[in-house]
Amino acid sequence: MIPPEHRPLWTRALAYLGVRQNAEHTRYSTGFAERLVACCGARGDIVLPAIILHDTGWSTVPEDKILASFGPRTRYPELRRQHEVEGARIARRLLTELAYGPPDIEVIAAIIDGHDTRAEPISLEDAVVKDADKLWRYTRFGLETVRAWFGHTVAQQLALLEGWGKTRLVTDPGRHMAMGLLTALQAENRSD
Ligand SMILES: [Fe+2]
Ligand SMILES: [Fe+2]
């Protein structure tokens, strides 16, 4: 699932993805990012390192406060911001260790530093990272993980996903992928 050329980075990133199901989330989102790169003509050498590293900053947030840092019952919005800032810092360090070019490192770090709280994408690569970050929620794993975080029923979570597909996805291929995945989830959960 992780492309061979990005495995050295993935191996290092894993040390920072041990909370919030982030390793599995990132594995799914990296797959979606690869598809979106192909659909959108974005730079894979920017998008894939950015998505692999985007949530490494959660490793710096106290574990008992993570689920109160985002979502419907946010109490610590500053910790949500912290995961972006610290993720950018970790990314700069790991990418430098792996001898990525300094200009690319800055582009990747800028995407990570704001991937969650910045409303408007700053580039096509940023837009692709944003959508890849959200598409995992439309998988069975994402549905069950996110609804467990917030105590939602399957029906409540499916309704949220329907709304997010219209408002939070920023590329056309991302929206289409979300609606395709949602259609499958809805079919699997029909009670009629
Ligand atoms: Fe994030
Ligand atoms: Fe994420």
pLDDT of residue 71: 85
Task: Determine the pLDDT at residue 23.
Answer: 97
State in Å: Cα 133 to ligand 1 middle: 8
Distance 191 CA to ligand 1 centre (A): 34
Q: How many angstroms does the Cα of residue 115 sit away from the middle of ligand 1? A: 6
Contact 131, 116 (CB under 8 A): no
Please tell me the predicted confidence (pLDDT) of residue 190: 81
Confirm if 31 and 1 have CB atoms less than 8 A apart: yes
CA of 26 to the centre of ligand 2 (A): 7
* Every domain of the chain and the residues it spans: 4-188
Closest ligand by atom to 132 CA: 2
Could you say which ligand is closest to the alpha carbon of residue 79? 1
| pLDDT score at 128 | 98
Q: Which-ligand-closest: CA of 112?
A: 1
Q: Residue-wise pLDDT tens for the chain (192 aa)?
A: 789 999 999 999 999 999 989 999 999 999 999 999 999 999 999 999 999 999 999 999 999 999 888 888 899 999 999 999 999 999 999 999 999 999 999 999 999 999 999 999 999 999 999 999 999 999 999 999 999 999 999 999 999 999 998 889 999 999 999 999 999 999 998 866
Is 52 within 8 Å of 6 (Cβ atoms)? yes
Question: Alpha-carbon distance 89 to 93, whole Å?
Answer: 6
- Ligand 1 is an ion; its neighbours by CB within 5 Å are 55, 116
How much is the pLDDT for 161?
96
State residue 192's pLDDT score.
65
C-alpha span between 181 and 192 (Å, rounded): 20
Neighbours of 137 (CB within 10 A): 25
**Cα gap 120→46, rounded to integer Å:** 18
Compute the distance from residue 75 Cα to the ligand 1 centre, in Å.
16
Superfamily the domain 4-188 falls into: Hypothetical protein af1432 (1.10.3210.10)
